[in-house]
Structure 1
Amino acid sequence: MAFQASWLQRQLGRELLALRESRGHTTREVGEALGWAHTKVGRVERAENKIDPVDVIRLAKFYKLDDADTERLCAMARQSRTDIWWEKYKPWLSDPYYTLIGYENDATRLYALHNSVVHGLLQTERYMRAMYETSALIRDPDHVDMHIEVRLQRQRRLFEPEPLLADVILDESVLGAPYGGAKVLGEQLKHLRELSELPNVSIRAVSATAAVARMPLDIYEFGGADGPAVAMSETLYSTIIHDGPLEVRQARRALEFVQAAAMSPQETVRVIENRIREIN
């Protein structure tokens, strides 16, 4: 299978291209200075080849980058992932959803806000199936099975040796929405309680009485708060990607406003436990 660059690899290539152009060098000049074929420089910038952190350091020295920027680019090279497992599901996925999985695969941290359902990374299989049963958009059984399989695969990111850090805010009403009935909801709530014990997962609820606007929003960070980031917002029909710096800053402000009104993770666990007792 031919090499397929992840989003983070493509982003690193774009940054290296911008650095070269800002210094006024051609690919041939860079290649000659580093003892590379000039075609290698172009392939790296177009993300046709995966670049090693050692090569990133050599480029950074040639471009006279400071230590902080060098380490940031090296972190991007180290964190780039090449297992594009979702490629085989592409016929079943919309383009925005296919792109979202790519972001999620490479991201180091996720900040999310969901106001009507549990976030997909935190859902049980029976909760997923119950959601699709009430959806007017995806009803074909084979299509539903594929989407559930993809979502369960996505959840592996929470349990890897270097897991995705997930900070998720849920509207309090989500903790009482009985998709699939009381038994399925009870199972889902217990799953949330268990996930909240993971060191890389933070779950907080925002009270239904809190005077804040809340719309579905995901922000993926790559390599820390100072690295690149993208925001994604949902509509009934699609997911909209916002990757411009201004859009990402606005998304962060919107999410921070809701975060300030949300319960603490400990308070949220108590609410979840109360709901579990009410169901039982």
Structure 2
Amino acid sequence: MTTQTSARRRELGDELRRARERSGLTAAQLADQLGWQPSKLSRVERGLNRCTEVEAAMLLGYLRAEPDEVRRILALCDDEERGSWLQAFGNRLPDQLRTLILSESTACAIASVELNRIPGLLQTECYTRAMLCEAGLVPSAGVEPRVEARQARQALLHRSNPPNFVFYIHEQALGLQIGGPAVMHEQMLYLVFAASQPGCVIRIIPTAAGAHAALDGPFRLMSFAEHHPVVYLETQNRSLVLEKPLDIASYKLVLAKLADQALSATESRSMLVDYASRYDVMEAAASDDSGDQVAEEQLQRH
């Protein structure tokens, strides 16, 4: 049974719970101080009850929260019915957004569509690093924190009860060489390994398919056991969470069309193996060329 609650309200509840746990107070102790029924605090922390800005400020006051934390959490109180929520990254990394992490960690199923790159949850460390460095949009000092944050998110795939994943990846992401043949060879092998794991399906949208249902761009649709689904979109500086039934229906239609247009899981795995072989040959050729160049330089020195 689904409940009428928004992603924003669930994030507010999660932040309030985390603040309470950091303070060392139990839920019963805090509810007593606030004069609330324990059930009310429980529903607020689970995002099932609306929490006004006044209530949240009073709660955070009892917890002696720091001013910066208070401002950040109170900003989540501007709650509306399920709709859309535009959120700026600010000084946070996209992979560290509580909205994304909370949604992914509580989802029972995640469908992801990527067109020009390997999905973040499936990227190898070397691929992520090379992508950030070669794109040139991240200062050198900011590369490693982003690599670490993306790797940390991938723990989701290896927990005891991960969501069911379906990754739609366009073939152009496989052919876009990032970091050189060695990096791409490792990335392709990792995709082959991931595709063999239970609950993880990778389907390739072949270039030969031409126009396809996801031409408008990448997205993630996350489904939950107790809440309505959400669609998560990401731009250069902001994320957008969509929850209106009409929006969800339109993205579900995209996924249904892609299910017809993409290669099967078995065909996709074969394509990944083929790309891994190609990059392996390219890597070996590059290594031979490098060895010949070194030998030639040594001869010239003698």
Fold equivalence (TM over 0.5) = yes
Please state how far the C-alpha of 1:8 moved relative to its aligned partner.
10
Partner of 1:242: 242
Question: Counterparts of 1:80-159 in structure 2 under 5 Å?
Answer: 91-94=91-94, 97-138=97-138, 140-159=139-158
Partner of 2:66: none
| Aligned-partner SS, 2:204 | strand
CA distance in 1, matches of 2:236, 2:91: 20
Question: Which of residues 38, 44, 47 in structure 2 aligns to 1:46?
Answer: 44
Please state how far the C-alpha of 1:130 moved relative to its aligned partner.
0.7
Larger Rg: 2
Partner of 1:223: 225
Please state how far the C-alpha of 1:252 moved relative to its aligned partner.
1.1
Q: Answer yes or no: is the 8 Å Cα contact 2:192–2:269 preserved in 1.
A: yes
Please state how far the C-alpha of 1:136 moved relative to its aligned partner.
4.1
Partner of 2:271: 271
More relative contact order in 1 or in 2 (CA 8 Å, sep 6+)?
2
Pair 1:108–1:48, CA change in 2 (3 A) = closer
Instruction: After superposition, give the CA deviation of every residue in 1:93-130 in whole Å (9 maximum; x if it has no partner).
Output: 25994421221121121101100000001000000001
Pair 1:176–1:48, CA change in 2 (3 A) = closer
Please state how far the C-alpha of 1:189 moved relative to its aligned partner.
0.1
Pair 1:260–1:97, CA change in 2 (3 A) = farther
CA distance in 2, matches of 1:188, 1:95: 19
Please state how far the C-alpha of 1:182 moved relative to its aligned partner.
0.8
Q: Answer yes or no: is the 8 Å Cα contact 1:205–1:262 preserved in 2.
A: yes
Pair 1:92–1:160, CA change in 2 (3 A) = same
Partner of 1:164: 163
Q: Answer yes or no: is the 8 Å Cα contact 1:204–1:264 preserved in 2.
A: yes
Return 5+ residue gaps in structure 1 as ranges.
1-6, 14-36, 51-89
Return 5+ residue gaps in structure 2 as ranges.
1-6, 14-34, 49-89, 281-302
The aligned amino acid for 2:220 is D
| Aligned-partner SS, 2:212 | coil
Please state how far the C-alpha of 1:144 moved relative to its aligned partner.
1.7
The aligned amino acid for 1:144 is V
The aligned amino acid for 1:130 is A
Q: Answer yes or no: is the 8 Å Cα contact 1:92–1:143 preserved in 2.
A: no
* Superposition TM-score, scaled by structure 1 size: 0.68
| Aligned-partner SS, 2:41 | helix
CA distance in 2, matches of 1:96, 1:238: 13
Question: Counterparts of 1:187-202 in structure 2 under 5 Å?
Answer: 187-202=186-201
State the identity %: 25
2:182 aligned with 1:180, yes or no?
A: no
Please state how far the C-alpha of 1:148 moved relative to its aligned partner.
1.1
CA distance in 1, matches of 2:275, 2:158: 26
The aligned amino acid for 2:169 is L
Q: Which runs of 4+ in 1 moved over 6 A?
A: none
How many residue pairs are counted as aligned between the two chains? 212
CA RMSD of the aligned region, Å? Answer: 3.0
The aligned amino acid for 2:189 is K
| Aligned-partner SS, 1:180 | coil
* Superposition TM-score, scaled by structure 2 size: 0.63
Q: Answer yes or no: is the 8 Å Cα contact 1:222–1:229 preserved in 2.
A: yes
Instruction: After superposition, give the CA deviation of every residue in 1:1-55 in whole Å (9 maximum; x if it has no partner).
Output: xxxxxx69938x8xxxxxxxxxxxxxxxxxxxxxxx85223212321799xxxxx
Q: Answer yes or no: is the 8 Å Cα contact 2:133–2:140 preserved in 1.
A: no
Please state how far the C-alpha of 1:248 moved relative to its aligned partner.
1.3
